Structure 1
Amino acid sequence: MASINAISYYLPEEVLTNEDLHEMFPDWSAEKIVSKTGIRQRKIAAEDEFASTMAIKAANKLFQENGISPEEIKFILLCTQSPDYFLPTTACIVQHALGIPVTAGALDFNLGCSGYVYGLSLAKGLIASGEVENVLLLTSETYSKHLQKDDRSVRTIFGDAASATFIDNTNKGGRLLSFVYGTDGNGAENLIVKGGGMRYPDLPHNNAGPAEGALYMNGAEIFAFTLRSVPAMIDQVLEKNNLGMQDIDLFIFHQANQYMLDHLRRKLAIPEEQFFVHMADYGNTVSSTIPIALKDAMEQQKIKPGMKVLLAGFGVGYSWGAGIVQF
């Protein structure tokens, strides 16, 4: 049985506060921003910080905090939508920098807000197959490098972060139960970075370029998709695990923004004390939101032995996934 053995995360040093954003956009007060998003500040990667460097810092923190040796790692999964390069694979760069044996497998996968849940499921499959004894699952996003500086619709939401999770077959920590998934590429245009890929190579995709090459988000459509897809996904994952809502002790959803999470919680009739929200100081860190929230819930002793925790990710793609962890 695959289990989450340990989690650590890394946050960049630079802070973008609501007061900073108010200076950029004077008609939006700091109070208005926090009331709309639930976010007070977000961490921003430095110019010389990238997916690989942040993933390396998160992994080293995991090793130091939990007495794990890089030599133990059998496979690396790295989730990012802001890789260092088109090629080589960022996970290969990380493997070398961390001193993980060359006998380890390593791959990137391109998913956003559902990525951590998918990564847990992929790790579970690798371990269940008997191919490896453990997996280092990394998430690392520098979405700030995709954002147009004067696009306040996304500047107020996204932050940068990386996480590292050690998943093994020792049955210590949180056992990974069954997962469900969903995909609807019809929504691809509603959260997209068109610049920088092969289809539109001439569109600058960094924050210095024109808006059409930077990250675009149709907030209304993303909100509608979420309210449409997430409740059905929760029903499906509970049914697959032969559980009911009353069997779940804590719900940890992708930390998109406070407004969206409040609507989902009410729609699903989840008691507020069982719905963990902890994003005010981080922002929406895409694939890193769930592991950060999960780690913080553990540290706050919101999770105790015997508890079942439901994890749900949803967003860009459209892509969604959910799973249950038994502690």
Structure 2
Amino acid sequence: MTASDLQSGLAIKVDSMALRGVVCALPTQVVKNQTLAAQFGEKEVNDVIKMIGVHERRLAPPHQTAADLSQAAADRLLDELGWARDTVDALIFVTQTPDYTLPASACALQARLGLKRSCAAFDVNLGCSGYVYGLWLAGKLLDGRAIKRVLLLAGETPSKITDPSDRSTAMLFGDGGSASAIEFDAGAAPAHFVLGSDGAGERHLMIPSGRYKPYLGDDARLEGRDPTCLFMDGGEIFNFTLSNIPQLVSDTLETAGKTREQVDAFLFHQANTFMLKHIIKKAKLAPERAPINMDRYGNTSCVSIPLLLVDKCPQVQSAPQTVAMFGFGVGYSWSGAVLDLPVLAVNRLIEV
């Protein structure tokens, strides 16, 4: 495993990691943004839909959490793969909406899924970049001895932390959960990652209050807002993304030794359709190789990349594919990966 610094982040090669299957679980409730016209005004709603590209989203009911959705995905994945529960050596849960402040939801999920007590389990508090970070962490854990199988869960319920009266977020985010099965395979093609962060952007996408650092009322952008709900400065996020992600695409491809034509699918975090189209154009990618599905699901944070895989890439179950993945946003944090995927035994979307 080697690592080096690039303009956009730390480049890392991971050997012996094979992705075997992915399942995403969505709530059954579908909310169409057009139904919010009575609240925000028809013109305003149409303008937002045109800009962000979200027509409908899935919202979890009050009793359903990100851990619940991810557990349902994991149960289905393990059953369809035929993995015995006592063969999972580690569980990673990526989320910013855990069940509790403590304990870690991953520990609870270990028991709920019936995994062995010797299974390592921990949460990762990352959002938009979290799925790719999770893949990297899983690859780092695999050693072919103590840890041969890792279950990566990524789940988010942004609906529980958004202010329904905030037009900038109320029509953007959707809920979901996912599970990915990752296994040690000495013959697997190397996976390549580029990871980076810039905490100078922390205040542009955040929940200002509600944990342990008191909000001092020192940000004029938050006047009249509930500081315990999600705040997003869309302009700052847009500028950060266009300034950094095209370079991330180039650096990740260079690290992997791949041309744009050698990649079957470019899977971007589904942040904003207008923004994504700009990134695809600036990165000189063929639009047909960079699918977008946020019109039906919205921005699902760390779930958006696996959701693209199961929703828009059925070919991964019939032939090996080279896939590039790019997460970016809250933190600021960003991540890129290029994986030569074997044929996936499971690639499924379910409702719960």
- What TM-score do the two structures reach when normalised by structure 2? 0.85
Question: Is 1:318 equivalent to 2:321 in the alignment?
Answer: no
Encode CA deviations 1:98-148: one digit per residue, 9 max, x unaligned: 111101000000000000000000001111474400110001111111111
Asked whether the equivalents of residues 51 and 90 of structure 1 are also in contact (C-alpha less than 8 Å), the reply is no
Encode CA deviations 1:280-312: one digit per residue, 9 max, x unaligned: 21110000000010122332x278634311100
The alpha-carbon distance between structure 1 residues 304 and 105, as it changes in their structure 2 partners (threshold 3 A), is same
Instruction: Give the whole-Å Cα distance in 1 for the aligned partners of 2:200 and 2:259.
Output: 31
Q: Among 238, 254, 261, which residue is 2:276 paired with?
A: 261
Identity %: 35
Residue in 2 aligned with 1:199? 213
Instruction: Give the whole-Å Cα distance in 2 for the aligned partners of 1:308 and 1:225.
Output: 27
Residue in 2 aligned with 1:226? 241
Query: What is the DSSP-based 3-state SS (H/G/I as helix, E as strand, rest coil) of the residue aligned with 1:189?
Result: helix
Task: Kindly provide the amino acid, as one letter, of the partner of residue 319 in structure 1.
Answer: S
Question: Is 1:305 equivalent to 2:352 in the alignment?
Answer: no
The alpha-carbon distance between structure 1 residues 197 and 277, as it changes in their structure 2 partners (threshold 3 A), is same
- Provide structure 2 residue ranges, at least 5 long, that are not aligned to the other structure: 1-15, 218-223, 342-352
Encode CA deviations 1:150-202: one digit per residue, 9 max, x unaligned: 00110111001000000002479x85611011100000000001222101289
Query: What is the DSSP-based 3-state SS (H/G/I as helix, E as strand, rest coil) of the residue aligned with 1:313?
Result: strand
Encode CA deviations 1:249-308: one digit per residue, 9 max, x unaligned: 221110112111101011111111111212221110000000010122332x27863431
- What TM-score do the two structures reach when normalised by structure 1? 0.92
Instruction: Give the whole-Å Cα distance in 1 for the aligned partners of 2:61 and 2:178.
Output: 17
Residue in 1 aligned with 2:5? none
Residue in 1 aligned with 2:59? 44
CA RMSD between the two structures: 2.2
Query: What is the DSSP-based 3-state SS (H/G/I as helix, E as strand, rest coil) of the residue aligned with 2:243?
Result: helix
Query: What is the DSSP-based 3-state SS (H/G/I as helix, E as strand, rest coil) of the residue aligned with 1:4?
Result: strand
Query: What is the DSSP-based 3-state SS (H/G/I as helix, E as strand, rest coil) of the residue aligned with 2:69?
Result: helix
Residue in 1 aligned with 2:105? 90
Q: Among 283, 292, 301, which residue is 2:307 paired with?
A: 292
Q: Trace 1:1-327 onto structure 2 (pairs within 5 A).
A: 1-28=16-43, 31-128=46-143, 130-170=145-185, 177-200=191-214, 211-299=226-314, 301=315, 305-327=319-341
Instruction: Give the whole-Å Cα distance in 2 for the aligned partners of 1:177 and 1:3.
Output: 9
Encode CA deviations 1:35-88: one digit per residue, 9 max, x unaligned: 212211111111111122222112112123333332221100000001111110
Instruction: Give the whole-Å Cα distance in 1 for the aligned partners of 2:209 and 2:68.
Output: 23
What displacement does 1:245 show?
A: 2.2
Task: Kindly provide the amino acid, as one letter, of the partner of residue 135 in structure 2.
Answer: L
Instruction: Give the whole-Å Cα distance in 2 for the aligned partners of 1:231 and 1:252.
Output: 13
Task: Kindly provide the amino acid, as one letter, of the partner of residue 139 in structure 1.
Answer: A
Asked whether the equivalents of residues 297 and 303 of structure 1 are also in contact (C-alpha less than 8 Å), the reply is no
Instruction: Give the whole-Å Cα distance in 2 for the aligned partners of 1:26 and 1:170.
Output: 55
- Provide structure 1 residue ranges, at least 5 long, that are not aligned to the other structure: 204-208
Segment of structure 1 superposing worse, 59-68 or 182-191: 59-68
Instruction: Give the whole-Å Cα distance in 2 for the aligned partners of 1:202 and 1:98.
Output: 41
Task: Kindly provide the amino acid, as one letter, of the partner of residue 19 in structure 1.
Answer: Q
Task: Kindly provide the amino acid, as one letter, of the partner of residue 43 in structure 1.
Answer: R
Instruction: Give the whole-Å Cα distance in 1 for the aligned partners of 2:204 and 2:144.
Output: 36
Task: Kindly provide the amino acid, as one letter, of the partner of residue 276 in structure 1.
Answer: P
The alpha-carbon distance between structure 1 residues 182 and 8, as it changes in their structure 2 partners (threshold 3 A), is same
Q: Which has the higher contact order (CA 8 A, sep 6+)?
A: 2
Task: Kindly provide the amino acid, as one letter, of the partner of residue 36 in structure 2.
Answer: L
